[in-house]
C-alpha cells in the first residue's frame, strides 16, 4: 500500500471461514482462531482524507458504497487497514468500535530473523529469552514488540526490527507516539547542521602579536615581502606602519615620518658661526676676531 491509503478486507466466501464470519474478535480468541490475511480478500483500496480514521471510513461507507467496492457493507469480522504517513495499522471491525490487531499485514521477507511467531529469542545485551507479541509497519518496514518470556509485563518491553536489531529499549506502553517517533528517527535519522567551513589562512593571515592586525595578502594588492619581514622583526604594530612610510629602513626608530627634508639638515658648525656673527655685530668686533678669541679660550682649557 502507498502512503495515506486504506484498504477494506473481508473473509473469503469459502466453507473454512464459516466459523469466523461475523464473529466478534473475543469469540475467535477464545476458540484460538487467528486472524490471518490469507483468509481474507481485499475488496476496496482508496486514498485517505486528512481527517480519516476507521470510524469516519465506516460511516462514509454506511451512507454509500463506492462504485469500485466489491463486497458487502462493512460489518463484524471485516478488517480495515490504514496507512497513515507510512504507519500501517489494522482494525478488526466489531459491532461497536474496533480492535487493533497485530501482524495482519506483514512485510514479506524470507530472510527475516524476527516475526510474530518468534519465541525464545535472545536479544543482544539483555538477559533471558524473549517472544514477539505485537508488530507495526512503518515506512514499509516491520517492527516487533518483544516481551520477556519469564517475567512478562513485570519488565520493560523492547522493539526489534526484522533483523533482530534493538531499536527502542525500555518500552512500557507499547507502540505509543514516543516509541513511533524513535522508530521514525531510526529510519530517517535527523540531519545534523553542517558547521560553516573555515576559510584557509594565507601567509599574511598568520598569527600576529596581541592587539595587532597582521598585513594581509589580497588579490588586489600584496605588500612586499620586505615590509612583511620588517613587521616580523620589529614585532610592533607601530613599526609595521612605519615600515610602509619611511623612505629608508634605517629610519625605523619608533617615530613616523623622520625622512630628510628637501633642503637638507643644517650643520651644528654653521649654526655656531651664525651665533658668533650675531655676538660680534652687537659688540662691534669683527667676526674673525671673535672666532680667534674663542679658539684661544679652547686651547687654554
- State the 10-residue block means of pLDDT for the chain, 301 residues long: 79 92 93 91 88 92 90 94 88 95 71 77 88 88 92 93 91 92 90 68 52 50 54 52 52 52 59 75 63 64 55
What's the confidence (pLDDT) of residue 262? 47
Q: Cβ atoms within 10 A of the Cβ of 228, count?
A: 19
Confidence (pLDDT) at 151: 93
Q: What is the pLDDT of residue 81?
A: 93
Q: What is the pLDDT of residue 54?
A: 95
Q: What is the pLDDT of residues 210-255, one digit of tens each?
A: 555 555 544 444 555 555 555 555 555 455 555 555 555 445 555 5
Check residue 90 and give its pLDDT. Answer: 93
Closest alpha carbon to 164 in 123, 215, 214: 123
Helix, strand, coil content of the chain in percent (nearest 5): 30, 20, 50
pLDDT at 75: 94
**Look-up of cell digits 519488565:** 155
Q: Please check whether residue 183 is in contact with residue 161, taking contact to mean a CB–CB distance below 8 angstroms.
A: no
What's the pLDDT score for residue 68? 86
- Angle, vertex CA 27, rays to CA 24 and CA 31, nearest 5: 145
Give percent of the chain with pLDDT exceeding 90: 36
φ, ψ (nearest 5 deg) of residue 162: -65, -25
> Cα separation of 56 and 50, whole Å?
11
Quick one: pLDDT at residue 14? Answer: 93
pLDDT of residue 181: 93
- The confidence score (pLDDT) of residue 110 equals 53
Q: In whole angstroms, what is the distance from residue 80 CA to residue 86 CA? A: 15
Q: What is the pLDDT of residue 219?
A: 46
Core vs surface per residue 83-101: b (16+ CB within 10 A) or e = beebbbbbbbbeeeebeeb
CA distance 270 to 277: 11
Amino acid at each position: 500500500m502507498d502512503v495515506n491509503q486504506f484498504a477494506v478486507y473481508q473473509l473469503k466466501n469459502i466453507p473454512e471461514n464459516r466459523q469466523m464470519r461475523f464473529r466478534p474478535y473475543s469469540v475467535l480468541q477464545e476458540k484460538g482462531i487467528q486472524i490471518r490475511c490469507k483468509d481474507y480478500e481485499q475488496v476496496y483500496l482508496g486514498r485517505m482524507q486528512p481527517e480519516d480514521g476507521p470510524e469516519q471510513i465506516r460511516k462514509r461507507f454506511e451512507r454509500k458504497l463506492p462504485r469500485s467496492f466489491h463486497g458487502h457493507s462493512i460489518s463484524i469480522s471485516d478488517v480495515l487497514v490504514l496507512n497513515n504517513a507510512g504507519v500501517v495499522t489494522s482494525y478488526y471491525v466489531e459491532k461497536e468500535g474496533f480492535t487493533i490487531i497485530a501482524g495482519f499485514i506483514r512485510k514479506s521477507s524470507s530472510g527475516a530473523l524476527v516475526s510474530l511467531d518468534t519465541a525464545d529469542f535472545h536479544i543482544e545485551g539483555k538477559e533471558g529469552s524473549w517472544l514477539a507479541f505485537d508488530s507495526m509497519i512503518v515506512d514499509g518496514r516491520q517492527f516487533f514488540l518483544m516481551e520477556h518470556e519469564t517475567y512478562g509485563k513485570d519488565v520493560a518491553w523492547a522493539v526489534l526490527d526484522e533483523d533482530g536489531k534493538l531499536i527502542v529499549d525500555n518500552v512500557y506502553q507499547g507502540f505509543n507516539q514516543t516509541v513511533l517517533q524513535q522508530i521514525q528517527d531510526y529510519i530517517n535519522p535527523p540531519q545534523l547542521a553542517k558547521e560553516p567551513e573555515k576559510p584557509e589562512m594565507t601567509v599574511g593571515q598568520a598569527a600576529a602579536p596581541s592587539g595587532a592586525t597582521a598585513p594581509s595578502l589580497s588579490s588586489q594588492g600584496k605588500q612586499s615581502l620586505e615590509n612583511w619581514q620588517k613587521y616580523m622583526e620589529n614585532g610592533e604594530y607601530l613599526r609595521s606602519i612605519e615600515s610602509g612610510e619611511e623612505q629608508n629602513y634605517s629610519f625605523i626608530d619608533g617615530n613616523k615620518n623622520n625622512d630628510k627634508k628637501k633642503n637638507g639638515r643644517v650643520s651644528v658648525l654653521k649654526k655656531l658661526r651664525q651665533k658668533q656673527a650675531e655676538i660680534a655685530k652687537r659688540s662691534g668686533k669683527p667676526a674673525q676676531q671673535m672666532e680667534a678669541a674663542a679658539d684661544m679660550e679652547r686651547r687654554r682649557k
